[in-house]
Amino acid sequence: MLWAVSYGPSRAADAQAHVFAVYTDRLHQASHISVLVQEAYCMSRRLYWPLPTSCSLQSLHGGYMEVENHSSDTLFTFLYLTFDVTSLLFCHFPLETCLNISHGSESFRKRRVLEKNMLIVSVTTAGCNDFPTLESVENYTLNINDDQCLLQSQSIWGALRGLETFSQLVWRSAEGTFFINKTKVEDYPRFPHRGLLLDTSRHYLPLSVILDTLDAMAYSKLSVLHWHLVDDSSFPYESLAFPELSRKGSYNPVTHIYTAHDVKEVIEHARLRGIRVLAEFDTPGHTLSWGPGIPGLLTPCYSGTEPSGTFGPVNPSLNNTYEFMSTFFLEISSAFPDFYLHLGGDEVDFTCWRSNPDIQKFMKKKGFDDFKQLESFYIQTLLNIVSAYDKGYVVWQEVFDNKVKVRPDTIIQVWREEIPVGYMKEVEAITKAGFRALLSAPWYLNHITYGPDWKDMYAVEPLAFDGTAKEKSLVIGGEACMWGEYVDSTNLVPRLWPRAGAVAERLWSSNSTRNVDFAFSRLSRFRCELLRRGVQAQPLSIGYCEQEFEET
């Protein structure tokens, strides 16, 4: 397939509009992509993942389409990468060969004689150079019939989602002919935050693996990469303000770090796929890798009256701690453009604080009789620091459970399944308190079992709690989490996919989309599509794909 793209402003007088015209030509065979009427609508041979909100088949006859074009040279790079996102459907040539960008109306008119089939992508607001946000509009409509092949969206981000759906409409017959369904799709996500957590501390993930994961996320319409950059095990983030953090805290300060350039590349790769990057720097616990680079940051643990030589959480009693955090998070706020930072706050072990005489004196001075109060003091101070940088924040549920005073716009992420209560009871309590909630407790992809565990993940209903409509609206989505204790670049991809796709559909599609058998047939096909696109997704059950995965 050869794709040629022309871009230009639409004729809409009341909006800034962008129109992409795409037309196709088969290089090796005389057969063309045909518009074919299927016998059933969305449940026909060509099956979507995730399932659109609304889709219907129009009873029209096949034919070819021709659409007037208005050409422009702007946003060449954006278009170039947009079609990289959709993997150019069935194109097996290098991107430079497959994508031919026309640079003027005369050039385009000369190319139009090759084929009449054309996809018009109309975006009614500008902002291609912006970053996606929690509030981004991802709605789109897609109409394919005798008169037109039109993808419409209010935003670039909706257009990207629609292009992915369009790519799934094209299918290949047993004879090798490519067809595209006549159809009408009206689609939008159920939740705005559809995330995937990657842990790059316990095992370092090469940059290429992260970028490939972003590609697969775009295929399933996930919208947030939750990047758990650092933890007890290692500190791979190369700080410009505190270079000793990665020099002394990473596994290898040369090969196992993420430079400022790497971070920018991840963020830009994500942006061009409509994906936000939510960076997490978890404190005061999970910080052992911070200690070697910043002496005095961690709390010395005691055995009786003497230091034991070991260290615990961040020391909350020292002014130096907050001076460091202020400078460090100023850098982080600049390096990561998303409005939100994830500040952690989970699993703080009080044993070391309890053993330290200086901590005990500090608590007595402050009038604290509970270590949760000490933890709250630290976290509240940190939240005030981050708020001063015009950032919002996400925290793990312990911050809420320990009654830390947080801003009303704080997002609480629920990760514990049964402690202190069932996760749905936790979501209920968070939303009744007026806070927004993210759900990840039932979607830990690093927990593996024999058989189709994706069904359990698919069966989760994020709003299955007693609450008012207003309270349920505070659930803004969820995340599939891949913690890295037993995962690195050798097994990450097959452990992620297609299981993460089950979570992706639960967060995108209507709550009425629940039939597991219907999901199995579509997820199996989606898994084959992932293989065709080079993603080494593991099988769901016995079966095969027309194009099996091969190492390149």
Residues recognised as catalytic: 347
Question: Measured between alpha carbons, how far is 291 from 310 in angstroms, rounded to an integer?
Answer: 11
Pairing between β-strand 178-181 and β-strand 34-36 as defined by DSSP bridges: parallel
Question: Measured between alpha carbons, how far is 35 from 65 in angstroms, rounded to an integer?
Answer: 10
For residue 107 the two structure tokens come to 């050039």
What does DSSP assign to residue 36? E
Question: Measured between alpha carbons, how far is 205 from 233 in angstroms, rounded to an integer?
Answer: 13
**H or E stretch including 375?**
helix 371-387
Question: Measured between alpha carbons, how far is 352 from 345 in angstroms, rounded to an integer?
Answer: 16
Pairing between β-strand 224-228 and β-strand 149-153 as defined by DSSP bridges: unpaired
Residue whose entry in the numeric block shows the structure tokens 């016998």: 39
CA-nearest of 212, 480, 226, 211 to 336 is 226
Q: Count H helices, E strands: the chain?
A: 18, 21
CA-nearest of 247, 352, 240 to 290 is 247
404 in Cβ contact with 380 (< 8 Å): yes
Residue whose entry in the numeric block shows the structure tokens 């982080």: 332
Which residues are CB-neighbours of 71 under 8 A, at least 6 positions away?
Answer: 6, 7, 8, 102, 103, 104, 105, 107, 108
Which residues are CB-neighbours of 421 under 8 A, at least 6 positions away?
Answer: 429
